[in-house]
Amino acid sequence: MLVSPVKDQLERSQPVKKLKTRDSQDGNALWEKSIFDLKSSGILETEAIVGKVVKKSELLTSKIKTFYFFLGVADETASVKLMVYGKDLHRRIKEGSSYIFRELIQDGKYVKVNASNSVSETNPVNVPEEFEREAERLLYPELTSIKDIKSSPPQTHVSVEGTVTQIYPVQKVKVQHKEKMTNRQSFKLRQEAEEISVTMWDEATEQSKDLSFGDVLLLTNMKPNEYCGKVSLNSTQFTKITKIQSVGIWKVTQD
């Protein structure tokens, strides 16, 4: 049966359903909008999105002492990064749970959530794996390529992504200005044609001790170090290793 193009267009433009809110009976219920449509055409005050919180950042403070944080949210159509204000919402919103987000504000590159009554928990949203990964990556810090790390002046901290190509066992070494022996573990990280040595120190070795050959990693807050013309990366107290893809094959190279 043929469908009229005009009728088809009208049906596609109609909201699919109303959200079940306390004011639904008086005709003021919000229209649900998919994240894909939000990113394509923006959002109105009379619309809301429903999505799963895949990733939540730590609580941050602006220069004017305003508390805010970021969320990586996804539904069955796409993912989006939300900027959310308030300590209370940071406490209430949990990774892995699904929420209705109302009264969203599109402000430049951010979609913002202001009031604590703009968010309410709802039934679980089924999210395809590809959009879960997208939502998680939305909260990753800005990455620096291994090539740029090697060729640029030393920076305070960098974040980099790559594949583990070689792993060395944890060793105890003597470090200047420390009485006790310190744990150290090194591995090599490759990104396309570039490779760099990475050294984890002290408590940071707890994050690297179970790495496998072939794991794809995101390393955040690493400190570049140059010695005899060779650049390497060292862990800091803020370093975090995130496994983007794990192959689960253990391979340690003995010195």
pLDDT at 64: 81
Q: Tell me the domains of the chain and their CATH numbers.
A: 29-137 (2.40.50.140), 146-245 (2.40.50.140)
* pLDDT score at 23: 41
pLDDT exceeds cutoff 50 at 223: yes
Res 17: pLDDT: 40
Per-residue pLDDT reduced to its tens digit, 135-165: 988 887 778 999 999 987 777 788 899 999 9
∠ CA(57), CA(63), CA(69), 5° rounding?
Answer: 15
Confidence of residue 248 (pLDDT cuts 50, 70, 90): low
DSSP line for 2-21: ---HHHHHHHHHS-S-B---
CB 216 within 8 A of CB 244: yes
Determine the Cα–Cα distance for residues 209 and 184; give it in Å rounded to an integer: 10
Tens of pLDDT along 113-135? 988 778 999 999 999 999 998 99
Task: Please write the tens of the pLDDT for every residue from 13-63.
Answer: 333 344 544 344 444 556 889 999 988 888 877 889 999 999 998 888 877
Task: Write down the pLDDT at residue 52.
Answer: 97
pLDDT band at 4 (very low <50, low <70, confident <90, very high): very low
pLDDT at residue 13, rounded to an integer? 36
Q: What is the DSSP string of 37-80?
A: HHHHH---TTEEEEEEEEEEPPPEE-TT--EEEEEEEE-SS-EE
Task: Quote the pLDDT of residue 178.
Answer: 77
| Residue 235 reports pLDDT greater than 70 | yes
Task: Give the pLDDT band (50/70/90) at residue 221.
Answer: confident
Would you state the pLDDT for residue 250? 44
pLDDT of 12 higher than 80 = no
The whole-number pLDDT of residue 1 equals 42
Mind giving me the DSSP string for 20-39?
--TTGGGT-PPEE--HHHHH
Instruction: Tell me the two tokens of residue 38.
Output: 């939000």
